Amino acid sequence: MCFVNEIDYGTPAVKSDKTVTLTIDGRSVTVPEGTSIMRAAREAGIAVPKLCANDMVKAFGSCRLCLVEIEGRGGTPASCTTPAADGITVSTQTERLGAIRRGVMELYMSDHPADCPACAQGDCEMAAMAEAVGLAQNRYGQEGANHLAPAPAGAHEVNFKELDISNPYFAYDPAKCIVCSLCVRACEEQQGTFALTVEGRGFESRITAGMDEPFLQSECVSCGACVQACPTGALQEKSVIEMGMPDHSTVTTCAYCGVGCSFKAEMKGEEVVRMVPYKDGKANRGHSCVKGRFAYGYATHKDRILNPMIRQRISDPWREVTWEEAYSHVASEFRRIQHQYGRGAVGGITSSRCTNEETYLVQKLVRQGFGNNNVDTCARVCHSPTGYGLKTTFGTSAGTQDFDSVEQSDVVLVIGANPTDGHPVFASRLKKRLRQGAKLIVIDPRRIDLVRTPHVEASYHLPLRPGTNVAVLTALAHVIVSEGLFDEAFVRERCDWDEFQDWASFVLQPENSPEAVEKASGVPADLIRGAARLYATGGNGAIYYGLGVTEHSQGSTTVMAIANLAMATGNIGRPGVGVNPLRGQNNVQGSCDMGSFPHEMPGYRHISEDATRAIYESLWGVKLDDEPGLRIPNMLDAAVEGSFKALYIQGEDILQSDPNTRHVAAGLEAMECVVVHDLFLNETANYAHVFLPGSTFLEKDGTFTNAERRINRVRKVMEPKNGYADWEVTQKLAQALGKDWTYTHPSEIMDEIAATTPSFAGVTYALLEQEGSVQWPCNEKAPRGTPVMHMGGFVRGKGKFVRTAYVATDEKVGPRFPLLLTTGRILSQYNVGAQTRRTENVVWHEEDLLEIHPFDAENRGIRDRDWVKLKSRAGETSLRATITERVAPGVVYTTFHHPETQANVVTTEYSDWATNCPEYKVTAVEVSPSNGPTGWQEDYEALSQRSRRIGHVEAAE
Amino acid sequence: MSHDEKSGEERLVYMANQIAMFFASQPENEQVDGIADHINKFWEPRMRRHLFEIIERGGDGLSPMVLEAAASIRRPQAA
């Protein structure tokens, strides 16, 4: 058991070609020019006393503890704000410095609670610093003016502020605050929210949130950066106050979004005391959001199911059974069904929330154990068009950059993504770059926060009608080609020139001009022209996109349109540029990499390739089917039709997350054995015959691959509450089906992946231990991984330009359904909410709300917070409305975090032409006032209650 | 209850036509092959079998390009 201690260098690292050499306390040290003396000293092993500095934010020089003496210079400058210079000689400890520091600390301590519990715990640096500077007395006492206690009755109250415990995760005790402003700087520089400020002057100055509000009511997004920065106990996790300080810690990877932040899980025994972002984490660089930092409580929530359960019919109550009984039941049912209905009547779904190793095993179970290719994954409903589009144009199905790349971007184009809510830590890194002067283009039907947020304003916001991405992107290309803004040298060298010319003549057609596209998209032509010129000529241009691109009937076409733009302008193959899909779930990238699609083996190799199959056939000792298997929607179709009967679903809630809930329900109902392997009795489990309890990311070893292709370690910090990690359960199932799997640790599974997949050939747990993380491809050619792809040329050889004709979706507005519904995510909640709804995060978002423009609301007699009925051609649901101008007239928007809302009851069965990724982002709807939940919602609620009954176990005989 | 819900076969026809719609905008010599290649790569045998059944019944509703591509679509082995 050890504690991961990170060195705090006091001020951020500086990049410079020039170095300077100086002497500190007799030691010679060489650092990049511009480095502070404080940091230089730390690099030489000397820790200068400090309170108001850390290496995440710029130095401020307020605490006056870090003073040093420099030979030949007068005074005692602060080492945090004084740059190291060539040839100077610095002393960090002299009699004079010691006296000043003791004087400063004595004043601080005269206004610090004598019984500070945080000091006692070791979570407050005040007592430690007093000791470090040798403070032995306090001549002032605490009777004078102070911030420690309310003023006596009748006296003017200026200094004392009440404890603020409004935030569910941390407390702010102003009595312990020394107004060093580290929290203010962390909120500004790291998070970019600017929620905190120093109010008042001199002795009256206090840290306040918002307009002197409680934290919860302020703009604070609860990312935790201030808590982490606070050198005293003023800002402290409530968990630390309750449980005391952790005694050991382990570095692991967050299991929420595709950013894949590294955290230190700080523990006491088997309990998590807190999650602290890890500075060496290359995705997050020491930053976090409210989900990863605080919302881990679901892992120990009482709703977790810890024992396997089975039932004959889905109308029966559940019956708890032993693991052995569950395995043999599943094995005999799957065997029976295959015998009765054919080998292809069963399949599996891998999870984007589970590890690479677990995902690999599920597809192996399907291919080797079931003998078919009926395996799919939740990426079907999110990023499958990314796979198709980028493979076609570039040759590989992945984002091209690492997140560090954004630090070198000059123009960032964000389309169909809402990073401040969906990918908050990346958003903070992006905002930091934008505050430094990079330009921003946003293409989104909604005015997302990024369009205008403190010290950031988009140069262009193109508020297009949902469903017109392809038209707008092709119009951007039209401007770039017609105005000669493309990078001819790049295209001639890296791409097929004939294909480029064919594409160029296509985009020049009059129907692709901004003026023509204005009619369909509603985006003024001059905005399209301006945005195209900025992207093509503004320097390093980077495109970031999300599900607002993929979840359309032309999702794959849109991805290819994005790739075309990047290639035409030469924005591929170096830091600062690229095409970057922001992945929804922690391991979407990984689950796709691991062969979760029914037509592909791991590493994106088509199932029809004989050489690829041969590798696995010899290793697994079976003949593999060379035909593609069923995709999720095909499985459901086949089930309704009667030819598909059994499904093993690991960590996905298809009933809630897939389109057209009724169709999903009908498909599941038609099956004879649905096995759900999950943490909770999710919505899909309402239709399940077998429930296998799952384990959380805290309970297992493995790897996640984030949106940058970065393979990060997940490390076990506690025993699985259900007894087994998910990979062990899949292995037991395979064994019950007669397969001789004998993995004893996930590292052995990774070894098999590396041995069979060229892009993973160099990946081992030992390498991950040594490097922290690597980005695939990682093999002989790139032994330490590949931060930026397509550097010298494209993976497929020449980059391929593809014509992208705009085809309007068949989901059209009309008199009955005059509004367009689009959907998205909110910061505090995650996906279908199964995890975040089981944490305190619900204080930020109790229910899904329908955003509607004041014009549309008034026409319908809808007031803010009214219940409204949302009706589409597919179905109807009810929720409350919120009136806002973030959405344009004619567009409404909601999130899908709560099962009661059942937003997918209204989404349609239209899908991407290439991948069947559902068209979540466009549904024609009508909105009308209503009294409350619809009949379907009430019926469904009743069904949920019924189907979640767990029968009492009879006494064993 | 929901009015526009398609049967499995209607959905199949719709999907095939959607693929054809994309390839219709591609260079002429890539259109028909593109459709066939896409269906061969991504449609599992059951779907292709249904497609051939529809074609053999006259191909009602299918775009002419899909019918043209049928010659290059791999016939699944009998179930």
Of the candidates B8, B18, B45, the beta carbon closest to that of A627 is on: B45
3 state DSSP class of A562: helix
Q: Is B6's Cβ below 8 Å from some Cβ in A?
A: yes
Contact call for residues A831 and A421 (beta carbons, < 8 A): no
Helix (H, G, I), strand (E, B) or coil at A42: helix
The 8-class DSSP code of residue A367 comes to: I
Rounded CA-CA distance A633/A187 in Å is 44
Residue A53 has pLDDT above 60, yes or no: yes
The CATH class for the domain spanning A819-946 reads mainly beta
B7 CB neighbour count, 10 Å cutoff: 11
A419-433, A833-847, A931-945: which has the minimum mean pLDDT?
A: A931-945
- For A705-739, the pLDDT digits (tens) are 999 999 999 999 999 999 999 999 999 999 999 99
| Overall average pLDDT of the A173-187 stretch | 95
- Cβ-defined contact of A502 to B27 (cutoff 8 Å): yes
Is residue A816 less than 8 Å (CB to CB) from chain B? Answer: no
What's the CA gap between A548 and A545, in Å, rounded? Answer: 7
- In angstroms, the separation between the Cα of residue B32 and the nearest Cα of chain A is 15
pLDDT reported for residue A394: 95
Query: How do beta strands A646-650 and A346-350 pair?
Result: parallel
Per-residue pLDDT band at A952 (split at 50, 70, 90): low
pLDDT on residue B3: 41
Give the position of tokens 């009667």. Answer: A642
**A19-132 maps to which CATH number?**
3.10.20.740
Residue A475: Cβ within 10 Å count: 30
Contact between chains at B38 and A807 (C-beta distance less than 8 A): no
Quick one: pLDDT at residue A360?
97
Task: Provide DSSP, A199-215.
Answer: ESSGGG-EEEETTTB-G
3-state class (DSSP) for residue A877: strand
**Residue A819 near residue A873 (C-beta atoms within 8 A):** no
Instruction: Give buried/exposed letters for A129-152 (b at 16+ CB in 10 A, else e).
Output: bbeebebeebeeeeeeebbeeeee
B43 closest CB neighbour out of A373, A628, A804: A628
Q: What pLDDT score was predicted for residue A885?
A: 94
Taking only Cα atoms into account, the Rg of chain A, rounded to an integer number of angstroms, comes to: 29
User: Does an H or E element contain A266, and which?
Assistant: strand A262-268
How far, in Å, CA of A462 to CA of A522, rounded? 9
> Partners of A346 in the beta sheet?
A646
**Mutation target vs A (from B4, B11, B21, B22; most A CBs, 10 A cutoff):** B22
d(CA A589, CA A356): 9
Q: Shortest CA distance to B14 belongs to which of A375, A268, A910, A29?
A: A910
Q: Which of A326-335, A521-530, A658-667, B19-28 has the lowest mean pLDDT?
A: A658-667
Q: Which residue matches tokens 């593609």? A: A628
Q: Let me know: does A746 contact A701? Beta carbons within 8 Å.
A: yes
Nearest chain B residue to A916 by CA: give it: B15
CA–CA separation, A427 and A418 (whole Å):
9
DSSP category for residue A887: B
Residues of chain A positioned with their CB less than 8 A from the CB of B22? 557, 805, 807, 913-914
Residue-level pLDDT at A157: 67
Closest CA to A796 of A500, A477, A491, A496: A496
SS3 A569: coil
Q: For chain A, what is the mean pLDDT?
A: 93
A523 burial via Cβ count (<10 Å: 0-12, 13-18, 19+): buried
**Contact, A13 vs A55, CB < 8 A?**
yes
CATH code for A384-581? 3.40.228.10
Helix (H) or strand (E) holding A439: strand A439-443
Q: What is the tens place of the pLDDT at every residue in A59-85?
A: 999 999 999 999 999 999 999 999 999
A655-665 burial: b if 16+ Cβ within 10 Å, else e: bbbbbbbbbbb
CA dist A845 to A427, A829, A849, Å? 20, 7, 9
> CB distance from A802 to chain B under 8 Å?
yes
Q: Which residue has the tokens 């490390």?
A: A715
Q: Which has the minimum average pLDDT: A378-387, A422-431, A772-781, A826-835?
A: A826-835
- Least CB–CB distance from A913: residue in B19, B40, B43: B19
Residue A412, Ramachandran bin (φ over 0: left; ψ between -120 and 50: alpha; else beta):
beta
What was the pLDDT predicted at A342?
Answer: 95
Please check whether residue A70 is in contact with residue A78, taking contact to mean a CB–CB distance below 8 angstroms. no
Identify the CATH number of the domain defined by range A321-379+587-755.
3.40.50.740
Handedness of CA A131, A134, A137, A142 (dihedral sign): negative
Answer whether A663 touches B (CB < 8 Å): yes
Chain A residue numbers touching B8 (CB-CB < 8 A):
637, 640-641
Taking the Cβ of residue B30 and every Cβ of chain A, the question of whether any pair is shorter than 8 Å is answered with: no
Distance, C-alpha A693 to centroid of its chain:
25
The percent of residues in chain A predicted with pLDDT above 90, rounded, is 83
Return the H-helix or E-strand segment holding A893. Answer: strand A891-895
Write down the domain spans for chain A: 19-132, 321-379+587-755, 384-581, 819-946
Which own/partner pairs from A305-308 qualify as long-range (CB within 8 Å, at least 24 positions apart)? A305/A678, A305/A679, A305/A680, A305/A681, A305/A691, A305/A693, A305/A722, A306/A693, A306/A721, A306/A722, A306/A723, A307/A693, A307/A722, A308/A690, A308/A691, A308/A692, A308/A693
Nearest to B26 among A598, A662, A803 (CB): A803
Quote the pLDDT of residue A422. Answer: 92
| Residue-level pLDDT at A148 | 85
Would you state the pLDDT for residue B5?
59
Mean pLDDT of A676-693: 95
Q: Which 8-state DSSP code applies to residue A709?
A: -
Question: Higher confidence at residue A120 or residue A12?
Answer: A12
Contact A643 B46 (CB under 8 A): yes
**C-beta atoms of A628 and B44 within 8 A:** yes
Report the range of poorest mean pLDDT among A706-710, A776-780, A870-874. Answer: A870-874
As a whole number of angstroms, the distance between CA A175 and CA A206 comes to 10
Q: What is the pLDDT of residues A639-660, one digit of tens each?
A: 999 999 999 999 999 888 777 7
pLDDT at residue A954, rounded to an integer: 52
Which range is least confidently modeled, A193-202, A387-396, A590-599, A892-901?
A: A892-901
**pLDDT-derived band at A782, boundaries 50, 70, 90:** very high
Most confidently predicted of A217-226, A655-664, A831-840? A217-226
Q: pLDDT at position A940, please?
A: 78
Q: Does B29 lie at the interface with A, CB-CB under 8 angstroms?
A: no
pLDDT value at residue A846: 81
Structure tokens at B4: 């526009």
Whether residue A603 is predicted with pLDDT greater than 80 in this model: the reply is yes
Other CB atoms closer than 10 Å to residue A539's CB: what's the count? 14
Q: Is A585's pLDDT higher than 70?
A: yes
CA distances, A916 to each of A240, A555, A585 (Å): 47, 9, 19
What is the predicted pLDDT for the residue at A584? Answer: 82
Least CB-CB distance to B18: which of A344, A374, A913? Answer: A913
Cβ distance of A630 and B44 shorter than 8 Å: yes
User: Is residue A955 over pLDDT 80?
Assistant: no
